[in-house]
């Protein structure tokens, strides 16, 4: 008899699938429900490639890509004068990234 309770584990989240937004040549990047401006992503299997403003590209291993995207989005927002990409207003009273929702995430009536 053991006094250790085996709690069920939550299924592992696919952070790459959660980041993928709409796209034809690549996918828009969505983090925390916000569309990150001027960034596209390309899933190349073991590598995720991010393209900034159609002129600068960086590839990351799949397991580091989500952290790299969060860092880049935060750096872009802070550089533009926002406190963070997902929260806080600029002096213009606009958010850095707009809220988005995938149609598959919408509740059915």
The total domain count for the chain is 1
Q: Is residue 84 part of a domain?
A: yes
Q: Is residue 2 part of a domain?
A: no
Q: Is residue 83 part of a domain?
A: yes
Q: Is residue 21 part of a domain?
A: yes
**What is the distance, to the nearest Å, from the Cα of residue 91 to the centroid of all Cα atoms in its chain?**
24
**Per-10-residue mean pLDDT for the chain, 109 residues long?**
76 87 86 89 95 93 95 88 69 66 61
Predicted pLDDT of residue 82? 78
Q: Which domain holds residue 57?
A: 15-103
> Rounded CA gap, 102 and 30, in Å?
10
Q: Is residue 4 part of a domain?
A: no
Q: Is residue 109 part of a domain?
A: no
> Rounded CA gap, 11 and 1, in Å?
28
Predicted pLDDT of residue 71? 93
Determine contact, residues 39/52, Cβ cutoff 8 Å: yes
Q: Is residue 93 part of a domain?
A: yes
């Amino acid at each position: 008899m053991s006094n250790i309770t085996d709690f069920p584990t939550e299924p592992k989240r696919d952070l790459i699938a959660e980041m993928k937004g709409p796209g034809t040549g690549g996918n828009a990047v969505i983090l925390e429900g916000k569309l990150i401006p001027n960034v596209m992503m390309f899933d190349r299997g073991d590598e995720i490639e991010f393209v900034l403003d159609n002129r600068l590209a960086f590839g990351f291993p799949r397991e580091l890509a989500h952290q790299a995207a969060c860092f880049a989005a935060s750096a872009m927002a802070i550089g533009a004068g926002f406190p963070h990409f997902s929260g806080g207003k600029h002096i213009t009273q606009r958010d850095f990234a707009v809220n988005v929702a995938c149609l598959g995430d919408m509740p059915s009536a």
